[in-house]
Structure 1
């Protein structure tokens, strides 16, 4: 269980637990004001609930293919103050995008996708689905976003740097350009281990930022990290 200031994430049935980089995505991405939001691969419902806290009038759809994670997300949403504005669907994003009864176009899309391709797989099939791209290759993800993102909308993604490069090339092939980027490091002397990128149809240079989670002692949170997560983490 992970308690935030305004909601709680229970995660015993989900393969992917709450992690720092996902919280950074949820706190740093531009979730707009009002409108329609979509969380692709919601897992426990973390990003959907973080977005609901920040955007107090948005209607949010969250899609999750795994049955256990879907049930966990449904329960977490139901127990939150945002239950009336968040709907969770058990389906693949490919099927969701093709289902005219469910699919619509969204002002903002958030995605923390699986990214392992050829690495050694876990014997746990549920963990494989959460971590590996087999059920959601980047090409299929980009196609779904192309169908679901409103003109002028934004798509926010969390990935390691190399995989973000692959995804960026695919996004650009359908006219989505990176316009804002955050490089995430454990501390200033460590390499970038995750990258948050915002994509839109607008042309121009990509605004780049960097965030260190810790000071160089590896234990003390930086002021920038504290300020970013202050509205969520109980310890801040």
Structure 2
């Protein structure tokens, strides 16, 4: 799967201040690498179920300046025990399609459809692996964010910060970046427009957020 703009926003926006960080479904390794760039003192476990994606992530990470910070792990997150340790931060860009038409490519289906990682099992893994004072950051469309938040609340995980992502001010929100924790009190909500209303010029806020990662800025 190719790198997408909304995943880059997650990698640039999420709080990655922790010492131990977990990337669930690392794909190309994008979030793990962005985290390593932002937090040079972190140790990151990047878990991926798909063999081809795991291989690509391992190759990308090995070729980066951050290879000593990131470990790639080929395993289902449902089975991943992390040697009993827990994480200060967990990041994930999970599959979210349920009843949509399937692709003939099984790799695409695994990345986009929830069959192999239903929200309930994702939440179970997060509850098991997250430190009591840790944060879980998720990227999803608005409707799926609501579904996830409802299930997460049953596990005592609540949103404390949320970024709504739009193409520009005249377009609807198409993705939400949400921070969950076990100790959420005050909640902060923001909106980010990728472009100015002309639909072509990158907004100042988007440029500022992605400046350290986009070579064109």
For the criterion TM > 0.5, the same-fold answer is: yes
Aligned counterpart, 1:42? 26
TM-score normalised per structure 2: 0.98
| SS of the residue 1:94 aligns to | coil
Aligned counterparts of 2:164 and 2:39: Cα–Cα separation in 1 = 24
Name whichever of 223-232 and 199-208 sits farther off: 199-208
From 170, 185, 193, the counterpart of 1:212:
193
Aligned counterparts of 1:100 and 1:115: Cα–Cα separation in 2 = 25
Cα deviation digits, residues 85-134 of structure 1 (max 9, x gap): 100000110011xx363x52000000000000011111111100000000
1:182 equivalent to 2:182? Answer: no
Aligned counterpart, 1:120? 101
1:90 equivalent to 2:74? Answer: yes
Aligned counterpart, 1:199? 180
TM-score normalised per structure 1: 0.90
Aligned counterparts of 1:61 and 1:124: Cα–Cα separation in 2 = 27
Structure 1: unaligned runs, 5 residues or longer: 1-15
Aligned counterparts of 1:205 and 1:52: Cα–Cα separation in 2 = 28
| SS of the residue 2:115 aligns to | coil
CA drift of 1:205 comes to 3.5
Structure 1: 4+ residue segments shifted above 3 A: none
| SS of the residue 1:37 aligns to | strand
CA RMSD of aligned residues (A): 0.9
Aligned counterparts of 1:131 and 1:25: Cα–Cα separation in 2 = 17
Structure 2: unaligned runs, 5 residues or longer: none
